[in-house]
Structure 1
Amino acid sequence: MRTSARIAGVLTGLSLALGGAALAAPAAHADITSCVNQVERELQGGEAPDSVRMACYVGLTGNHEQCVSDLAKAGVTDSTATSACRVASE
């Protein structure tokens, strides 16, 4: 086999392998940690209670209104609750 044909074959195989890996890579997904971090910034360094983590989980499932409501019950301001729940579901 000629060297140029061998190189072309290797490059083709490599590009197919890398292309398949890119297709199989997971897409960016929602993140409970980002939601909790939003709330903790409002708490100015305080650790968020479990009720905040549960509310962020509800936001992760797509129930934005319930997430905001649960965060409000936990004492989070409306603007922070809205943005945190939006981050959870993105």
Structure 2
Amino acid sequence: MRTSTRIASVLTGLSLALGGAALMAPVAHADVRSCINQVERELRGGEAPEAVRAACYVGVAGAQDECVTGLTESGVTNKTAAAACRAAAQ
């Protein structure tokens, strides 16, 4: 077998193996949109301000306490803030 053919075969096999691993990897469950939707339900149809969106992004990063603090400082009730930040992390 020629060297170029062998290299091409190895690269093809490697690409298929890595592509299959990527397809089989678990889907990320963290969801900013779920967090924002939770807050918007409390706002009864109003659009969440930028501070809420920023707090939800913090929640996705795993900083639950900071997420709750950011949401409550934006006027969201503590109960909704906690639920929204849990939704962001899942």
Q: Distance in 2 between matches of 1:47 and 1:21?
A: 39
Q: CA RMSD in A?
A: 1.7
Which position in structure 1 is the counterpart of 2:77? Answer: 77
In structure 1, the partner of 2:63 is 63
Pairing 1:37–2:37 present? yes
Taking the aligned partners of 2:71 and 2:22, their CA distance within structure 1 comes to 37
Provide the rounded CA distance (Å) in 2 between the counterparts of 1:43 and 1:67.
17
Which contiguous aligned blocks of 4+ residues in structure 1 show a shift greater than 6 angstroms? none
Q: Equivalent residues in 2 for 1:44-59 (5 A)?
A: 44-59=44-59
For residues 22 and 52 of structure 1, the distance between their equivalents in structure 2, rounded to whole angstroms, comes to 32
Which amino acid is 1:86 matched to? R
Which residue identity does 1:36 align to in structure 2? Answer: I
> Number of aligned pairs?
71
AA paired with 1:48? Answer: A
Q: CA deviation at 1:29?
A: 1.6
Is there any run of 5+ residues in structure 1 with no aligned partner, and where? 1-19
Aligned partners of 1:64 and 1:21: how far apart in 2?
30
Aligned-partner residue type, residue 52 of structure 2: V
Q: Which runs of 5+ in 2 are unaligned?
A: 1-19
Q: CA deviation at 1:24?
A: 2.4
What does residue range 4-19 of structure 1 map to in structure 2 within 5 Å? none
What SS does structure 1 have at the residue aligned with 2:54?
helix
Aligned match of 1:27: 27
d(CA) in 1 for partners of 2:61, 2:79: 20
